[in-house]
């Protein structure tokens, strides 16, 4: 009998010995409310923050790890012209990127700062040092923006190129993480053929950066298909993320075209990526284990 109870105790304790991502759900079905999710921040393994993109209500939504809606914060003072990504600093401040710029013609790019603890609210206004036309010619329309993260009191932004024309470069810009009006600093760029960047994140230890991207086309001229992947960067120096060692991981495809637009770390070895609803398929999140 004593041996039996020892075995039962071992079985009960075994999950506690597994790494966090081994216990995390591989797929999460999200509420239909998050029909166009574009930003994701993981407060912890059980608390996910999201927002919808252009035209959605100015709301931050909280779900648990099962996709159940637990809370929402209505930011009535703000306007969601084109919210595209969400990040967070160590002081408890959310940064909401209202910088979606599909037309490449916006002159009102901004990032909102919101701290729930004291209802602090402010903004960063900015432009790009290398944009002189609104819009520029088609070959240079990569001033759309959908991914950024906070790191060491700076915000790092990664541009989205056009799918069917453009130069396939994603550009890395940097901004101070404090209210004001700035011209972003262009840090670097990277050629990613047939990929557009739609989300970005950095690990808690600052040693790994992940960009989520996808490619969309019509098969036989009318059937939509997509391919999505993440690019993992390591061994970089002094914030030169795109110069680090780069590895591509394909996101397992769904049977219909899927648009992945958000990403954040669960831990140093795994990220969640979020996808918008597609036809009759509800929005969802998928766990990706990073290769060593």
For the chain, the domains span 39-289
The yes-or-no verdict on residue 167 having pLDDT over 60 is yes
Average pLDDT over residues 221-250: 90
Query: Which DSSP symbol is given to 135?
Result: S
Answering whether pTM is above 0.85, one says yes
The yes-or-no verdict on residue 60 having pLDDT over 90 is yes
More confident residue, 23 or 143: 143
Average pLDDT over residues 219-240: 83
Residue range 39-289, CATH number: 2.115.10
The yes-or-no verdict on residue 181 having pLDDT over 50 is yes
Q: State the Cα–Cα distance between residues 163 and 263, nearest whole angstrom.
A: 20
The yes-or-no verdict on residue 219 having pLDDT over 90 is no
Lowest average pLDDT, out of 11-20, 54-63, 91-100, 204-213, goes to 11-20
Q: How confident is the model at residue 55 (pLDDT cuts 50, 70, 90)?
A: confident
Cross-strand pairs, 62: 49, 71
**pLDDT the model gives residue 14:** 46
DSSP readout, 173-239? EEEESSSEEEEPEEEEEEE-TT-EEEEEEE-TTS-EEEEEEEEEEEETTTEEEEEEEEEEEES--TT
DSSP readout, 87-108? EE-TTS-EEEEE---TTS--S-
Is there a contact between 145 and 109 (Cβ–Cβ < 8 Å)?
Answer: yes
The yes-or-no verdict on residue 5 having pLDDT over 70 is no
Q: Which of 56-70, 207-221, 253-267 has the highest mean pLDDT?
A: 56-70
Contacts of 164 (CB under 8 A, 6+ apart): none
């Amino acid at each position: 009998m004593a041996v039996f109870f020892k075995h039962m105790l071992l079985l009960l304790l075994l999950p506690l010995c597994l790494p966090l991502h081994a216990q995390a759900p591989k797929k999460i079905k999200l509420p239909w409310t998050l029909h166009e999710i574009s930003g994701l921040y993981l407060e912890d393994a059980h608390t996910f923050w999201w927002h919808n993109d252009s035209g959605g209500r100015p709301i931050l939504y909280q779900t648990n790890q099962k996709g159940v809606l637990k809370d929402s914060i209505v930011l009535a003072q703000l306007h969601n012209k084109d919210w595209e990504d969400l990040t967070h600093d160590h002081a408890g401040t959310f940064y909401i990127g209202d910088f979606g710029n599909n037309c490449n013609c916006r002159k009102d790019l901004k990032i909102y700062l919101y701290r729930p603890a004291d209802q602090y609210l402010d903004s960063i206004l900015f432009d790009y040092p290398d944009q002189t036309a609104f819009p520029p010619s088609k070959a240079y329309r990569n001033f759309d923006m959908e991914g950024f993260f906070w790191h060491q009191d700076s915000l790092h932004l990664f541009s989205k190129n056009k799918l069917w024309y453009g130069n396939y470069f994603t550009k890395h810009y940097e901004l101070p993480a404090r209210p004001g009006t700035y011209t972003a600093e262009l840090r670097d760029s990277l050629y990613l053929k047939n990929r557009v960047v739609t989300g970005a994140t950095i690990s808690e230890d600052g040693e790994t950066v992940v960009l989520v991207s996808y490619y969309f086309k019509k098969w036989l001229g009318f059937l939509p298909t997509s391919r999505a992947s993440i690019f993992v960067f390591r061994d970089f120096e002094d914030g030169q993320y795109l110069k680090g060692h780069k590895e591509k991981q394909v996101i397992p495809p769904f049977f219909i075209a899927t648009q992945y637009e958000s990403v954040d770390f669960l831990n140093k070895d795994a990220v969640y990526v979020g996808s918008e609803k597609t036809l009759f398929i509800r929005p969802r999140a998928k766990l990706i284990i990073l290769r060593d």
